[in-house]
Amino acid sequence: MSYGVDFSSMYRLVADYVAKILNGQKAADLPIQQPTKFNTSINLKTAKAIGIELPTAILLRADEVIE
């Protein structure tokens, strides 16, 4: 199981920062932004291999389930 930042949304934030800097804003004046979207991935094959059975509720909430 993995829970982490959605990198595609982070790349968009970086692109916005670069665009602002290239348009003349100072990097020191830009606000710090934190990620707002996170992904949960579950690897069922590995879970079964180590003897863990995950509840259906957790599987339904996951963004990605690897079978």
Q: What is the pLDDT of residue 18?
A: 94
Instruction: Decide if 27 contacts 50 (C-beta within 8 A).
Output: no
pLDDT over 90 at 40, yes or no: yes
pLDDT over 90 at 33, yes or no: no
| Arithmetic mean of pLDDT, 17-21 | 94
In angstroms, rounded to a whole number, what is the distance separating the alpha carbons of residues 65 and 67? 6
| Arithmetic mean of pLDDT, 6-16 | 91
In angstroms, rounded to a whole number, what is the distance separating the alpha carbons of residues 35 and 42? 21
Q: What is the pLDDT of residue 11?
A: 93
Q: How confident is the model at residue 2 (pLDDT cuts 50, 70, 90)?
A: very high
- Would you give the DSSP letter of residue 29? G
Q: pTM surpassing 0.85?
A: no
Q: Which of 23, 22, 21, 58 is nearest to 43 (CA)?
A: 58
